[in-house]
Amino acid sequence: MGRGKVELKRIENKINRQVTFAKRRNGLLKKAYELSVLCDAEVALILFSSRGKLYEFSSTSRNLLGEELEALTTKELEQLERQLENSLKQIRSNKVLVRSRVGVAFEPHSVRLSKGNLS
């Protein structure tokens, strides 16, 4: 007997949402690995949790070195530069988001500390 269709909407229960995220994250990482092996494809997966934690998968651990960049055309270098700029923007945006969440989470504690210093 097959499973029923799952309605795609936000899971309201926080614990159920975290469990579902963990299970589906692992399934997605496994699928990315399988795709890279079966199809001999280069696969990269970047995933951020709702708390801003980073999960990643890369089928190759290739790092760009200066020597490899010399063979690229001007157009390819410009495309690589745009990709890097877009990645940096996304990383900075996520960093601000994580910091704002952490700041909100610790705000009551810091207020208590400052009140303790006043008395």
Is 26 a domain residue? yes
pLDDT tier, 25 (very low <50, low <70, confident <90, very high otherwise):
very high
CATH number of the domain bearing residue 56: 3.40.1810.10
Q: Does 39 lie in the same domain as 23? A: yes
Q: Does 68 lie in the same domain as 56? A: no
Phi–psi pair at 58, nearest 5 degrees: -140, 130
pLDDT tens digit sequence for 42-99: 888 888 888 888 888 888 755 555 556 777 788 888 888 888 888 888 888 888 888 8
pLDDT exceeds 80 at position 39:
yes
What are the angstrom distances between the C-alpha of 16 and each of 21, 24, 47, 59?
Answer: 8, 12, 19, 30
Q: Does 53 lie in the same domain as 12? A: yes
pLDDT tens digit sequence for 98-119: 888 776 555 555 555 555 555 4
pLDDT at position 119: 47
What amino acid occupies position 72?
A: L
pLDDT at position 13: 94
Is 74 a domain residue? yes
Domain that holds residue 90: 64-102
Cβ proximity of 82 and 66 under 8 Å: no
pLDDT at position 5: 85
List, in sequence order, every beta strand (DSSP E) within the chain. Answer: 44-48, 54-58
Is 113 a domain residue? no
Q: Does 69 lie in the same domain as 49? A: no
Is 112 a domain residue? no
